[in-house]
Amino acid sequence: MAESENIVAETADKIFADLADAQTINHDKQGAWKAPLWQALTEAGLPLSWVPDELGGSGASLADGFAVLNVAGRHAIAVPLAETMLAGWLLTQAQIASPEGKMTVLPASPKDRITLAADGSLSGRARGVPFAKEAKHFAVLADSKDGVSIALVDAAKCRIESGIGLGGDHSDIVTLDKVQPATIKPAPKGFEQTTLMLMGGVVRSLQIAGSLESMLDISVHYSNERVAFEKKISKFQAVQHNLARLAGESAAALAAATSAADTIVNAKSLDNDAVFLEAASAKIRCAEAAEKGGGIAHQVHGAIGFTSEHILHRYSLRALAWRDDFGSESYWAVELGKLVANRGADELWPLVASR
């Protein structure tokens, strides 16, 4: 990891540690912690990390931003940092300046579409949009007969149906009915909805990997404190076996997510098979790890891990919720299978070995 990544990630980690302590948040039923945290993140320039200076951002590198997202996953924060970063990145692809405040992206699922009409208006329905209710603006990817466009849309012009995801965060339905965007420009050549979904998938993969690291730490700590039958449960072989499995899932998720992030950082274009293979594989593996790892962590904790008072659910439920954003593992498994089938049997090993 480069020195700049360390500095940016350490800055984010310190902000989260100071203002997003999981136990404090658990006891704050009114959400008073959110405003100070978002203010601190904004002052540090983190929400617009991927937006260059001339477009209103802090101009951090892709690698810096990916490091921040992994840290954010370790703290399982419930503010739209990742969504605003992704929205800023999308707007930057079309050289659209990012406004201040919280943002999210449309669509958030590969099966939803937003269309651009001849009069310049946008219409469509996007489901499962993270933090849409809290966002001031949407970064929208829209299709038309002339190609793909990227738009900045005022959230107040859209109809938003509130929804709550598995992790307790907003996962809303956004409907655009002939909405006129604040700004709209053509997307770069080769930029498609799949490109956005792959980038979003890597974002979620890094967050899942971070949450699994925390679940492992919490579980190990608990097993060294909890006493049963006059000895710590960490001394029981079954518990040791489960912790080893959890460590394996965490390591696999982190390896897959960081490999995909590195591939994107070093890619000249996101429109290539290497990026697709790495990003799709990362989302599949991290989603599987979220299910297996979360189950193991709760099994180690027993009944106490399922209570609302315990912090474990903040990580496990968000990791499970992130599985479905920007395409589930089932969706990407099918798409990855199509890629392999289209290339032919003789190209399978060279494709895998090239990574």
Mean pLDDT of the chain: 93
Check if the beta carbon of residue 284 is closer than 8 Å to that of residue 329.
yes
Determine, yes or no, domain membership for 85: no
- Indicate the number of domains in the chain: 3
Are 44 and 177 found together in one domain?
A: no
202 and 286 inside one domain: yes
Share of the chain above pLDDT 90, in %: 79
Give yes or no: residues 277 and 217 share one domain.
Answer: yes
What is d(CA 261, CA 223) in angstroms, rounded to the nearest whole number?
33
pLDDT for position 221: 95
209 in a structural domain: yes
More confident residue, 26 or 153: 153
Q: What is the pLDDT of residue 243?
A: 95
pLDDT per residue over 286-330, tens digit each?
999 999 999 999 999 988 888 888 999 999 999 999 999 999 999
Helix H or strand E encompassing 139: strand 137-144
Q: What is the DSSP string of 212-277?
A: HHHHHHHHHHHHTT-EETTEEGGGSHHHHHHHHHHHHHHHHHHHHHHHHHHHHHH-S-SSSHHHHH
Question: Residue 290: which domain range?
Answer: 193-353
Residue 252: give its domain's CATH number.
1.20.140.10
Confidence at residue 110, expressed as pLDDT on a 0 to 100 scale: 96
Answer whether residue 95 is part of any domain.
no
The answer to whether residue 211 scores a pLDDT higher than 90 is yes
Q: Does residue 217 belong to any structural domain of this protein?
A: yes
Residues 179 and 61 in one domain: no
Local confidence band at 25 (pLDDT 50, 70, 90 cut-offs): confident
The pLDDT confidence band at residue 3, using thresholds 50, 70 and 90, is very low
Model pLDDT, residue 14? 95
Nearest to 148 by CA among 109, 195, 103: 195
With beta carbons less than 8 A apart as the criterion, state whether 301 and 219 touch: yes
- Do 260 and 157 share a structural domain? no
Q: Answer yes or no: is 292 within a domain.
A: yes
CA 347 to chain centre: 31
pLDDT band at 5 (very low <50, low <70, confident <90, very high): low
> Is residue 86, in this structure, part of any structural domain at all?
no
Higher pLDDT, 3 or 228: 228
Residues 160 and 182 in one domain: yes
119 and 51 housed in the same domain = no
- Give the C-alpha separation, 243 to 319, whole Å: 18
pLDDT tens per residue across span 95-135: 999 999 999 999 999 999 999 999 999 999 999 999 999 99
DSSP 3-state percent helix, strand, coil across the chain (nearest 5): 55, 15, 30
**51 and 123 share a domain?**
no
Are 217 and 276 members of one domain?
yes
Q: Is 90 contained in some domain? A: no
Per-residue pLDDT at 304: 87
Q: Which of 146, 167, 190 is the last residue of a domain?
A: 190
For 17-21, 200-204, 244-248, 285-289, which range has the lowest pLDDT when averaged over its residues? Answer: 17-21
Last residue of a domain, one of 157, 190, 223: 190
pTM for this predicted structure = 0.94
Residue ending a domain, among 143, 171, 190, is 190
Give the model confidence (pLDDT) of 166-184 as tens digits: 888 999 999 999 999 999 9
Residues 227 and 280 in one domain: yes
Does residue 238 form part of some domain?
A: yes
- Residue 1: predicted pLDDT: 44
215 and 177, same domain (yes or no): no
What spatial distance separates the first Cα and last Cα of the chain, rounded to whole Å? 19
Instruction: Render pLDDT for 29-67 as a digit per residue (tens, 0 to 9).
Output: 788 899 999 999 999 999 999 999 999 999 999 999 999
Q: Are residues 171 and 216 in the same domain?
A: no
